[in-house]
Amino acid sequence: MTKTPSSASPSLYEDKRIISMPVRYLINIVAIAVFMLIGNLIISEGIINRTYTTILLQVGVYIILAVSLNISTGYLGQLPLGHAGFMAVGAYVGALAWKAMPHGLGYMIIGLIVAGIAAGIVGIIIGIPALRLRGDYLAILTLGFGEIIRIIIINLPDITGGTPGLLNIPKYSNFNVIFIFVILTCYIIHTMMKSRHGRAILSIRENEIAAEACGINTTYYKVMAFSVSAALAGVAGCLYGGLQGSLFPSAFGFMDSINILVMVVLGGMGSMIGSVLAASVLTALPAMLQFLASYRMVIYSVLLILVMIFKPSGLMGTYDFSLTGLIEKAIIKIRGGSKNNAKEGQANE
């Protein structure tokens, strides 16, 4: 998605659209359907047990969180440290809405939408003052807001249950729901970043002053990106509540925001596949490494430091994955080898 101009040479660009757009969509939809079928099969056939199923669902929630934080970190180029705060807003609003409404698929979706809107509104409220500041000050301000949200949740026990937690949340989040929302999130972000708005956001990351000089309303786009990121985090929080069945303020602390940021940076800022992979690995690995007991966090932190020292741009850099792109490359390689040789021959003459 964020191809730098240098990486896409003109000849490659010409060859890019050998698969027409409707076919591309079809390929992607088929791939998603196959994935979903496989996921359903391995869960219903009991190939993976309950523990691993829960880990798989958690991976889904963290993918949404990481990908949504990637909007404001990777694409907008800011450094927010309060993502868990938005997640908390969505989780609590969604859970309370679910508890207030009767059971049903429609009500579930209403709850998720309400959660997303609530987190998005909080995102706008926080974003307008925060985005006036630059760099590290923005980081600290969002950190402060995130902590304040958590303290408010602790200190309103009548509504949120306080420290003992909010219990008996309807467990809506099964594999299909989470899977669909992961795909939906990635799709929304992908299309947003391919649009005019996405390019405006990228231009702010590259050079804010130049973007402003080109007539881009930087404040508007910054707040927009920030609140979309917050709204998606709210949806993820709501799914998290539906997965756990209970919510505790301690799950939305400062370290949890950091944890999501680590996923984004480790995967490569501005790379969606990087965020997805890092979120999967970093969520699944600690759960799988239970047998290492207290050594596992030590190993985790050492790995984190080593990756940053040896690959500061993250594991994936800014590379982004495209299934149809891969297929196209394969086609070009198979049938285009002779054509390219002929072109080079002409150039040499």
- Residue number with CB closer to another protein (201 or 266): 266
Q: To the nearest whole angstrom, how small is the minimum distance from the Cβ of residue 283 to another protein?
A: 16
Q: To the nearest whole angstrom, how small is the minimum distance from the Cβ of residue 321 to another protein?
A: 22
HSE-up of residue 164 (Cα within 13 Å, Cβ side) = 6
Q: To the nearest whole angstrom, how small is the minimum distance from the Cβ of residue 233 to another protein?
A: 19
Sign of CA dihedral 332, 335, 338, 342: negative
- Residue number with CB closer to another protein (155 or 217): 155
For tokens 């021959």, the residue is: 345
Q: To the nearest whole angstrom, how small is the minimum distance from the Cβ of residue 90 to another protein?
A: 20
- Residue number with CB closer to another protein (175 or 300): 300
Q: To the nearest whole angstrom, how small is the minimum distance from the Cβ of residue 52 to another protein?
A: 25
CA distance 222 to 127: 8
- Residue number with CB closer to another protein (18 or 133): 133
Q: To the nearest whole angstrom, how small is the minimum distance from the Cβ of residue 124 to another protein?
A: 16
HSE-up of residue 126 (Cα within 13 Å, Cβ side) = 32
**For residues 91 and 241, is the Cβ–Cβ distance under 8 A?**
yes
- Residue number with CB closer to another protein (225 or 261): 261
Q: To the nearest whole angstrom, how small is the minimum distance from the Cβ of residue 136 to another protein?
A: 6
**For residues 53 and 44, is the Cβ–Cβ distance under 8 A?**
no
**For residues 91 and 252, is the Cβ–Cβ distance under 8 A?**
yes
Residue ranges that bind another protein, judged by CB under 8 A = 73, 79, 129, 132-133, 136-137, 139-141, 144-145, 147-148, 151-152, 154-155, 209, 254-255, 258, 261-262, 265-266, 269, 294-295, 297-298, 300-302, 304-305, 308-309, 312-313
**For residues 279 and 321, is the Cβ–Cβ distance under 8 A?**
no
- Residue number with CB closer to another protein (85 or 237): 85
Q: How does 142-167 read in b/e, with b if 16+ C-beta sit within 10 Å?
A: bbbbbbebbebbeeeeeebbeeeebe
3-class secondary structure, 140: helix
- Residue number with CB closer to another protein (247 or 278): 278
Which residues are within 8 A (CB) of 158 and not within 5 positions of it... i.e. 6 or more apart? none
